Structure 1
Amino acid sequence: MSSLVTRNSWKISYHVWQALFLREAVARISADRVAWLWLLAEPIAHVALMVWIRTLIGRIRLVPGADYIPWLVLGITLFIMFRNQMTRGMEAINANRGLFAYRQVHPADTVLVRCFLEGVLSTIVIILMIFGFTLLGHNVIPFHPLHALSIWGLVLAFGTGIALVFSVVATTLPEATKFIRMIMFPLYFLSGVMLPVQYFPHELQQYLLYNPMLHAVELFRLGFFENYRPVNGISLLYLSYWVWGSLCFGLLLQVRYKVRLMAQ
């Protein structure tokens, strides 16, 4: 009697994620002749453009306890990772619909892997940013490396959780994707990415603090600058609630609507 080789569910999931990751990476790199270069050039060009615009026309150049350009670079890079995870992650189910013929592949797998790929690319980008701006004479070396790394990981998890939620919405109601993309533009400015929130009226700050990305951006900068003074009310606990809440809610939605997502 021939022996049967059995695999536990975790090993099956690992092999599925590995195959999906390679598929996503190859698809992104081989989209056209310069796709591999554009993966890194796009966020770097975005940061460079924003730095140039704010340097050219910006009046607010003083940030309490931090150098202006590194302060701006860190906020933009962190937010770009969150934005890419959310917008590209919510499209993962429709983009990989043909793979659901294999029973080992679930809709949530495609979202998780795509978000992880975006996290890897963003990590490479910020490492290049740190080295590049350090060579230009700006101090972008984290003063509290473990703190900065933990916030980076939390935002990666947060983007994944939001992508899990919105992928269900975008798949079952495709028209909603337009509105989801629209909210990224005001969120970009309301997260303190380009303008120090300390300069906003105190009454407005109280409402902005409901935005978890504001907490993430400020906490991330706090890991890089020794004397940085974040906005009053910034809380790691509040950010953590949003991160784990979005992940749990997103996974619950994926389980609840799994059959509908695969048949949509």
Structure 2
Amino acid sequence: MTRSGFEVQKAVIKALFMREIRTRFGKYRLGYLWAILEPASHLVILLTIFGYIMKKTMPDISFPVFILNGLIPYFIFTNISNRSIKAIDANAGLFNYKPVKPIDTIFARAILESFIYASVYIILMAMVGLLGEEYAVNQLINLVMAWFFLIIFACGIGTIFMVIGKTIKETEKFLPIMLKPLYFISCIMFPLHSIPEDYRKYILINPIVHAVEISRDSVVAGYSSDGVSMGYLAFSSLLIFVIGIALYKTQEEAMLTS
């Protein structure tokens, strides 16, 4: 029985996903548990360093809940985008098999990063809840949709990065540097409502801000997130994704040949 193109691609992405997780974490003594421990330890360190300071500046908001809903979406975006640049080189030998395409490697890595950070999010949010921090997941659908569109946005940026990085090798070093300022302009360490209104409209151009603030609004009762829009997040994410796919389609043959 002949399988459809979608079924073939789904099988390829599943195989690439398993290969990716084995390659990245299978060699460690803690095995796949390290997939969760690595980002979790990073977040715990940041919570420890900045927790006291931020508790003083935002007394009405649980800082661990606030920062987790900023850092984890940011890490999902940057990890998918950065890992997409070298996705072709890391899987070059597999492209001898006709069903395997470069775009499949991005989807596999995006699924892995999403799975890792969703697991970390659930574990750490449960931990801070047990430690007495107050929150309530009162808008679960909004939370899931914000993360979904953020992942779509990251895949679009990652696809663009992959094509450019394969075409112009020097950009492999330059493109990740471009993402660094996003840490400071994506409301990771401060709430959107703390920015003066005259400048807020410029910050809101960044789709990550919308994903972060919607995440916080979904779990913190009474959180002020005026100005953010699920519609804008969806539109900008899908637009960047379509641009990325269109750019990829123009260069797919060249990337496979090279």
Q: TM-score range by the shorter chain?
A: over 0.9
Distance (Å, rounded) in 2 between the aligned partners of 1:31 and 1:257: 34
Distance (Å, rounded) in 2 between the aligned partners of 1:63 and 1:157: 34
Cα shift at 1:86? 0.9
Corresponding residue to 1:19 among 15, 20, 23: 15
Corresponding residue to 2:39 among 36, 40, 43: 43
Corresponding residue to 1:175 among 170, 186, 189: 170
Which position in structure 2 is the counterpart of 1:206?
A: 201
1:14 alignment partner AA = K
Q: Secondary structure at the match of 1:138?
A: coil
Corresponding residue to 1:53 among 49, 53, 59: 49
Q: Secondary structure at the match of 2:123?
A: helix
Supply the RMSD in Å over aligned alpha carbons.
1.9
Cα shift at 1:59? 7.5
2:170 alignment partner AA = E
Cα shift at 1:140? 4.0
Query: Which has a greater percent of helix?
Result: 2
Distance (Å, rounded) in 1 between the aligned partners of 2:31 and 2:188: 27
1:78 alignment partner AA = P
Distance (Å, rounded) in 2 between the aligned partners of 1:187 and 1:60: 24
Which position in structure 1 is the counterpart of 2:147?
A: 152
Distance (Å, rounded) in 2 between the aligned partners of 1:179 and 1:60: 37
Which position in structure 2 is the counterpart of 1:138?
A: 133
Corresponding residue to 1:9 among 5, 8, 29: 5
Distance (Å, rounded) in 2 between the aligned partners of 1:29 and 1:54: 29
2:247 is equivalent to residue 247 of structure 1: no
Provide the TM-score with structure 2 as the length reference. 0.92
Which position in structure 1 is the counterpart of 2:98?
A: 103
**Structure 1 unaligned runs (5+)?**
none
Distance (Å, rounded) in 1 between the aligned partners of 2:186 and 2:56: 16
Distance (Å, rounded) in 2 between the aligned partners of 1:45 and 1:219: 25
Provide the TM-score with structure 1 as the length reference. 0.90
Which position in structure 2 is the counterpart of 1:30?
A: 26
When residues 31 and 91 of structure 1 are mapped into structure 2, their CA distance, relative to the original with a 3 A threshold, is: farther
Question: Number of residues paired by the alignment?
Answer: 258
When residues 104 and 61 of structure 1 are mapped into structure 2, their CA distance, relative to the original with a 3 A threshold, is: same
